[in-house]
């Protein structure tokens, strides 16, 4: 959340308290991690919902006491404007509190995109991006990219029918038998 920027330059009391309150919400999530969707929803409703409601009231109250053109006021207004989206996770145990897991999963894809800039030419960069995308798709589907690529290339060289190319995609059940092992990844 943008409030973190408020703390870095000068630990303003408003920003410090906001982060402490948000940390309480994360503490509830930590306790609920690994539980079923229904258990997470129930735990959030019982423990995080009251904290979130109090946080919203606190934001609204603090907004009345800070300079309206200050960065703190802008940050509080931003949080309140997006409140429904920020608290959507409270009503659905399937939704994560934040996007950290998704961002971690996308980081290698972004790194590969940057690496493809050095592929030598536009066609090389495009080929690199396609291959990187397929490898990351394998990882996301728990498929060994090495086994998948070896099998697909062998099948294509041996005349695999063009009408059945969709059967060679990494997420088909044929390939989920070769589990991806992150310890073996480069």
pLDDT in tens, 122-181: 777 778 778 878 888 888 888 888 889 999 999 999 999 999 998 888 888 677 654 545
What's the predicted TM-score (pTM) here? Answer: 0.56
Structure tokens at 85: 């989206």
pLDDT per residue as tens digits for the range 53-97: 999 999 999 999 988 898 889 999 999 999 999 999 999 998 889
Q: What sign has the CA pseudo-torsion 54, 60, 63, 65?
A: negative
Per-residue pLDDT at 45 exceeds 90: yes
**Helices (DSSP H) in the chain: which residue ranges?**
3-7, 13-32, 37-43, 49-63, 71-81, 83-86, 100-115, 122-140, 145-157
* Spatial CB neighbours of 15, under 8 Å, sequence gap ≥ 6: 3, 4, 6, 7, 72, 75
């Amino acid at each position: 959340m943008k409030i973190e920027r408020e703390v870095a330059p000068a630990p303003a009391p408003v920003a410090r308290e906001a982060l402490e309150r948000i940390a309480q919400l994360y503490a509830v999530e930590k306790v609920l991690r690994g539980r079923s969707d229904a258990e997470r929803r129930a735990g959030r409703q019982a423990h995080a919902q009251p904290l979130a409601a109090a946080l919203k009231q606190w934001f609204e109250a603090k907004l009345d006491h800070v300079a309206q053109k200050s960065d703190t006021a802008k940050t509080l207004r931003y949080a309140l404007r997006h409140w429904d989206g920020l608290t959507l996770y409270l009503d659905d145990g399937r939704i994560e509190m934040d996007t950290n897991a998704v961002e971690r999963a996308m980081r290698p894809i972004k790194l590969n995109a940057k690496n493809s800039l050095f592929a030598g030419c536009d066609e090389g960069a495009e080929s690199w991006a396609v291959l990187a995308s397929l490898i990351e798709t394998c990882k996301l589907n728990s498929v060994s990219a090495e086994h998948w690529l070896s099998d697909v290339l062998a099948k294509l060289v041996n005349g695999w029918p063009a009408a059945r190319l969709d059967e060679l995609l990494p997420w088909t059940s044929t390939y989920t038998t070769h589990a991806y092992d992150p310890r073996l990844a480069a």
